[in-house]
Amino acid sequence: MTVPFLKIDGIRKEYGPVVAVEDVNLTIERGELVTFLGPSGSGKSTTLYILAGFEKPTLGDIRLNGQTLLSTPSHQRNIGMVFQRYTLFPHLSVGDNIAFPLKVRRKSKADVTERVREMLKLVRLEGYEDRKPAMMSGGQQQRVALARALAYDPPILLMDEPLSALDKKLRDELQHEIRRIHHETDVTILYVTHDQEEALRLSDRIAVFSKGRIDQVGTGPELYADPATRFVAEFVGDSDFLSCRVTHSQGGRANVVLGGDFAVEGVPLHDERGTPGEGALLLRPERIDLSRSEPTGWRGLPVRVDDVTFLGSNVHVIAQTGWGETVSVRLPFGHEHISGLSRGDEAWLRFDPNEAHVFV
């Protein structure tokens, strides 16, 4: 068996009585871009700070190429990091900021000059060498921070919500840049974010954090198509949840009843050890079909339309079931049943039980 590049092994972090991180395990391949996705307080940043060495885990180990990292102090770990806040050294010019880690490593003057030039080119800020950080925009500052963190060729780059202070347009632009730089440098990136869209856009794999644990690790499509927990289903992509009763379960599938009499059979089942018998049925808004007339040949879930919103390429329909739960449905523009659909209309919904999920 080969030794994994980076292994996070059973990390636990307690702050007094509070458990911030609980049994986090993750294996990361060289050159991967893995995001830690989760809401604030889910333990994703704490895990990153343990990797950086600013926090010590209560239990567990982190191994890089089989060697534990925990006994190495932060400044000798040779890890790069871009922070959420702007952390350029305010008294140094852009060039001197990028040169800082190289000077600390006592590189020769020629090497430093050459490397600074290379890094500025990588982040597309040639000619900004003599600027002071305060004269640059937030996006430019984070680019310089990225250049500084990569200047010494670290095997791992940590990024702690580096774009959260930027506006949407800049964020999109820098996400693109980060992907490009990741391809060009082959550095392994661990990226913390609470923004699912950002995670989906950037990552090779996503680790979804909830309440100090990793709920699921996988590629974006994997998480979307087959969420392991209700939390993952809610956090990645849009979702509809309908409460249901489980009447029968076997071999990872369940038969459920919605609203007293609407039976759905053979839905993939995820056991979260909730109240037995009671569950939530997950549907994806774009995987639901809508019909204006009582369908023949299949049994539709009758609903009343509450709202119809035109969103360009698709149309968003909010409907209410007979027992008062709300379902949102996204239909492609031009769908046969959309024209003239308005508030108060009756409609019937259809979905494939294989694409639904039940969480109990």
Partner 1 sequence: MLLDFDRLGWWRWALGGFTAAVAAFLLLPIVFIAALSFGSSQWLIFPPPSWTTRWYSELFADQRWLDAALNSLKIGLVVTVLSVVIGLAASFALVRGRFRGRETLKALFLTPMILPVVVLAVALYAFFLRLGINGTMTGFVIAHLLVALPFSILALTTALEGFDKSIEDAAILCGASPFEAKMRVTLPGISAGLFSAAIFSFLTSWDEVVLAIFMASPTLQTLPVRIWSTLRQDLTPVVASVSTLLVLVTIVLMLLVALIRKGLSKP
Q: How far is the CB of 54 from partner 1 (least distance, A)?
A: 6
Is 152 or 351 the residue whose CB approaches partner 1 more closely?
152
Count of residues of this chain found to bind partner 1 when the rule CB under 8 A is applied:
31
Q: How far is the CB of 129 from partner 1 (least distance, A)?
A: 15
**Judged by CB under 8 A, does residue 76 bind partner 1?**
yes
Q: How far is the CB of 201 from partner 1 (least distance, A)?
A: 25
Position among 85, 124, 176, 248 found at the interface with partner 1 (CB under 8 A): 85
What six digits make up the tokens of 303?
A: 């609903």
- DSSP readout, 251-319? TTEEEEEETTTEEEEEEEEE----STTEEEEEE-GGG-EEESS--SSS--EEEEEEEEEEETTEEEEEE
Cα 291 from Cα 65, distance rounded (Å): 56
Q: 329, exposed or middle or buried, with CB in 10 Å at 0-12, 13-18, 19+?
A: buried
Position among 38, 43, 57, 101 found at the interface with partner 1 (CB under 8 A): 101
Starting at the edge strand that comes first in sequence, how are the strands of the sheet with 6-15 ordered?
Answer: 18-28, 6-15, 59-64, 67-68
Residues 232-243, buried b or exposed e (16+ Cβ, 10 A)?
bbbbbbebbbbe
Position among 3, 59, 134, 263 found at the interface with partner 1 (CB under 8 A): 134
Binders in 48-67 for partner 1, by CB under 8 A: 52, 54
Position among 7, 77, 171, 194 found at the interface with partner 1 (CB under 8 A): 77
Q: 267, exposed or middle or buried, with CB in 10 Å at 0-12, 13-18, 19+?
A: buried
**Judged by CB under 8 A, does residue 15 bind partner 1?**
no
Position among 37, 42, 46, 100 found at the interface with partner 1 (CB under 8 A): 100
Q: Which of 203, 285, 164, 177 is nearest to 29 (CA)?
A: 203
**Judged by CB under 8 A, does residue 79 bind partner 1?**
yes
Q: How far is the CB of 256 from partner 1 (least distance, A)?
A: 49
Cα 288 from Cα 347, distance rounded (Å): 12
**Judged by CB under 8 A, does residue 105 bind partner 1?**
yes
**Judged by CB under 8 A, does residue 192 bind partner 1?**
no
Site string for partner 1, 255-274 (x = CB under 8 A): --------------------
Position among 33, 37, 81, 214 found at the interface with partner 1 (CB under 8 A): 81
Whole-angstrom CA distances from 87 to 33, 84, 167, 211 are: 22, 8, 18, 28
Cα 138 from Cα 250, distance rounded (Å): 54
**Judged by CB under 8 A, does residue 135 bind partner 1?**
yes
Is 131 or 292 the residue whose CB approaches partner 1 more closely?
131
Query: What phi and psi values does residue 241 have, to the nearest 5 degrees?
Result: -120, 130
Is 72 or 321 the residue whose CB approaches partner 1 more closely?
72
- Lookup result for tokens 């090779």: 204
Q: How far is the CB of 101 from partner 1 (least distance, A)?
A: 4
**Judged by CB under 8 A, does residue 148 bind partner 1?**
yes
Residues that bind partner 1 (CB under 8 A): 52, 54, 74-81, 83-91, 100-101, 104-105, 132-135, 145, 148-149, 152
